[in-house]
Amino acid sequence: MMTSEIATRYLDYFQKNDHTIVPSASLVSDDPSILFTIAGMVPFIPFLTGVVPAPYARAADVQKCIRTNDIEEVGKTARHGTFFQMLGNWSFGDYFKEGAIGYAWELLTSSEADGGLGFDERDLWVTVYEDDDEAARLWHRIAGLPADRIQRMGKDDNYWSTGQPGPAGPCSEIYFDRGPAYGRDGGPAVDDSRFTEIWNLVFMQDLIADVKSKTDFAIVGELPKKNIDTGMGLERVAFIKQGVENMYEIDQVRPVLDRAEALSGRRYGASHEDDVRYRVIADHIRSSLMLLSDGVTPSNEGRGYILRRLMRRSVRAMRLLGVDGPSFPELFTASRDAMASAYPVVVDDWARISQYAYAEEETFLRTLAAGSTILDLAVSQTKDAGAFALPGAEAFLLHDTYGFPIDLTMEVAEEAGLSVDREAFDALMLEQRTRAKADAKSRKRAIADLSVYRDFRAHGETVFTGYTDLETESNVLGILVEGLPAQRATQGQIAEVILAETALYAESGGQVADKGVIVGPGYELEVLDVQKPVPGLVSHTVEVTSGEVGLGQAATSVVDAVNRRAARQAHSATHLVHAALRDTLGRTATQAGSLNRAGYLRFDFAWGQALSPETKTEIEEIANNAVRDNLEVTTRVLSLSEAKELGAMALFGEKYGDVVRMVDIGGPWSRELCAGTHVSTSAEVGIISLVGESSVGASNRRVEALVGQDAFRELAAERAIVSQLTSVLKTPRENLPARIAELTASLKAAEKRIASFEAKLLGERVPELVSSATSAGPFRAVTASVGRAASADDLRGLVLQVRDRLGSGPAVVALGAEVGERPVVIVATSESARAAGAKAGVLAKTAAGLLGGGGGGRDDVAQGGGTDVSALPVALEAIVRALEATHA
């Protein structure tokens, strides 16, 4: 049974049983405390906790999930995967344990001919929470399971909670017996390798508090509305129904594994280590494809870092299989074809997805080449020092700074006859993870407990009137002070205020929040921020500047009209720039992020190379031509499917409901889904001036622009500078580039003549320096500060001349100079001096330490530097003492 057929049977069954079929939410989670949708229940948390009223009594879905906390286990077991799909059915105060157990058993054991999944009842076992007698009785009555196939487990296995105070409850898990070939008999309590969990039914009935750990909490009451939350792993069911060994061999994953096998020439199944690598590749390529399809792009932080890690682990695994060149064009194509029937977006958006994937692989292959060079040097230095293990700090630096994987470091070191101090490396990794966890924990603590918004959201969604009004009368529904509900807020306090209606725009879609005030009888509040802490609810962070605001009072939200006008200009200008980019570069130049505030826009887009000056000019001209043409800006509210049929762009990183707002500028020329505020006609935007273009990753570029009055001021300032230059240089404006180029060439020529003169003066000092040679232990040494030098290369040339004039005896020359207002020391040793133990690199490093900097190099010539020019005499004296110590 194909994976997509299992999903279809599941949804069809629950649709027949009066469940609303809900489309999968994005892999990018709305929950600010987690990066991804890590479980099927994540999109339903607002409904399960009661913060947001559920729009349906019962639902079913197939939810895309990403989980990377067990990434090191991927490929080693039959069930660990980073991307997976969770089949779920949900009841919000409707049916409870009896219904959930009945539906699960019927779907699992009904014949395939009748639309079921066709499991043999004899192969199924269940577990229940140790105190849940009701669930045990229901399993016996509904399914006819004997007592020995209903096993009781403790809180660690069969009790579910979010880990926070709030809703929780016992759960019941359904297991499939894979047979004696896979382990011991006796049920899941004895062997969870042989008995594979396929479905978990959570009975959310309790209210818990005083949560200390997963198993240490207090049940303080029952929920007034009991919910059902179930999750069945689609991949687990698929590998059982398809008769394969693990999830990596199912129809949606195996094609990638097969392609990797063909590229490497090694047979899957011949080596355990290679098999793990094949499975890692198959899993990670699919996960990367799905993350890219949901708008995540590779980067060095957050979600982008997780994606980058998955892709780079795939490259690394291919390398360990003997494939050093690019493989993503074939691997991603195989994954696309395998996933296309379930997720057509991977085909529809293939141009963008493949562009990011291929660029990331190309970048990492270059990183590996550079890392190999650095690693070769580290290996050489370790061997020169007579050590047998590469320091853990070196391995960590390669991993953390250059992205060079530890197992490749170990492989290269082993080939050179060295080990790696893995204990020190692991300690540094643990230290880094501890810092990251502490940081994540502090960020999580900074987020208010969303349950405080439950009562406010129960009044309905906040009505936003700001599309048409800049002032709106309402009343105060809620006040939060320091994250806790309050009756009032007084002068000087910072508080959150919830209104029934507001004219103030909450930050979203790249547009920053409005500025403004909230006023009422006897009080005034300065609005500091406007956000949507939970879907449909707007919260205003305010400072009480006068009086006292209390619950139930009248309140009028007043938008700063000047700031709003400039913000509208910037947001509409963003749409114009996006359309101009696509006109110029093609439809793959899609948005990857944006920021709009009064007078300024920042726009990130998918593109792999810098824009030429001519291209930037063309984009700017197209956008400003649209302004000149005074295009009509219209908005329509319609269904998501209608908007997409009309060609509206759904931008990545944005969440859309069934009903969306579509913004047209000039009809279909610019047509995007957008909830932001906009001008009425494009002429209101004013001027758009591109002021910057830069890289924000291997496959992303960023343009920045000033808009309206801010753009005018920038252009006026540039005009003033040009006017000053024409006056000072006595050159017409059109001749300025040529005149400045001429002056620059003259300056460079003068600098070159000065440098030549200074080098000549240094060279004339060679006899004097040779004659100043003194004894330092067994060495003939010349140490001196020669004043200023045009460059370190000039000083190096002088040092080598002096060394060569000292003859074949053990000679060391160390000269210091001020180069560009910084101290530089160059050290050179003769061959016989090196034989006697003098190493230029060590001596240069010694001097650099006293100069406040660093240094090193080869044994024959080396360089050091720092920041303290006055320390040059001391640094040179330290070299003499080091030479004398060598003699001692």
Instruction: Please write the tens of the pLDDT for every residue from 335-387.
Output: 999 999 999 999 988 988 998 899 889 888 887 777 777 788 888 888 877 78
CATH of the domain at 639: 3.30.980.10
The reply to whether 54 and 201 lie within a common domain is yes
| C-alpha span between 661 and 677 (Å, rounded) | 11
The whole-number pLDDT of residue 447 equals 37
Structural tokens at position 240: 């059982």
Annotated binding residues for Zn(2+), written as ranges, equal 571, 575, 674, 678
Spell 699-710 as b/e; 16+ CB within 10 A means b. Answer: bbbbbbbbbbbb
The reply to whether 677 and 612 lie within a common domain is yes
Low-confidence ranges of the chain (pLDDT < 70): 32, 78-79, 401-403, 415, 436-449, 650-657, 697-698, 887-888
The whole-number pLDDT of residue 650 equals 66
Q: Are strands 83-92 and 218-233 parallel, antiparallel or unpaired?
A: antiparallel
The reply to whether 553 and 580 lie within a common domain is no
The reply to whether 15 and 153 lie within a common domain is yes
Which residues, at least 6 apart from 341, have a Cβ–Cβ distance to it below 8 Å?
Answer: 4
Domain boundary among 679, 701, 716: 716
| C-alpha span between 773 and 782 (Å, rounded) | 5
Annotated binding residues, written as ranges, equal 571, 575, 674, 678
The reply to whether 227 and 279 lie within a common domain is no
The reply to whether 430 falls in a domain is yes
CATH of the domain at 102: 3.30.930.10
Q: What is the pTM of this model?
A: 0.69
| C-alpha span between 317 and 276 (Å, rounded) | 9
Distance of CA 593 to the CA centre of its chain: 13
| C-alpha span between 499 and 473 (Å, rounded) | 9
| C-alpha span between 511 and 746 (Å, rounded) | 48
The reply to whether 49 and 84 lie within a common domain is yes
The reply to whether 265 and 210 lie within a common domain is no
The reply to whether 150 and 89 lie within a common domain is yes
The whole-number pLDDT of residue 438 equals 61
| C-alpha span between 764 and 470 (Å, rounded) | 79
What's at 356, amino acid-wise? Y
Residue linked to tokens 């966890």? 437
Structural domain of 545? 450-557
The whole-number pLDDT of residue 52 equals 86
The reply to whether 737 falls in a domain is no
Question: 500: closest CA among 554, 426, 441?
Answer: 554
The reply to whether 769 falls in a domain is yes
The whole-number pLDDT of residue 807 equals 86
What's at 296, amino acid-wise? V
- Please tell me the total count of domains within the chain: 5
158-177 residue pLDDT tens:
998 877 787 899 999 999 99
The whole-number pLDDT of residue 493 equals 94
| C-alpha span between 6 and 331 (Å, rounded) | 25
The whole-number pLDDT of residue 445 equals 36
The reply to whether 544 falls in a domain is yes
The reply to whether 875 and 773 lie within a common domain is yes
The reply to whether 742 falls in a domain is no
DSSP 777-819: TTEEEEEEEEEE-S-HHHHHHHHHHHHHHT-SSSEEEEEEEEE
The whole-number pLDDT of residue 448 equals 43
The reply to whether 175 and 219 lie within a common domain is yes
The reply to whether 583 and 694 lie within a common domain is yes
Domain boundary among 249, 282, 298: 249
| C-alpha span between 434 and 444 (Å, rounded) | 15
The whole-number pLDDT of residue 762 equals 73
The whole-number pLDDT of residue 437 equals 59
Domain boundary among 443, 460, 483: 443
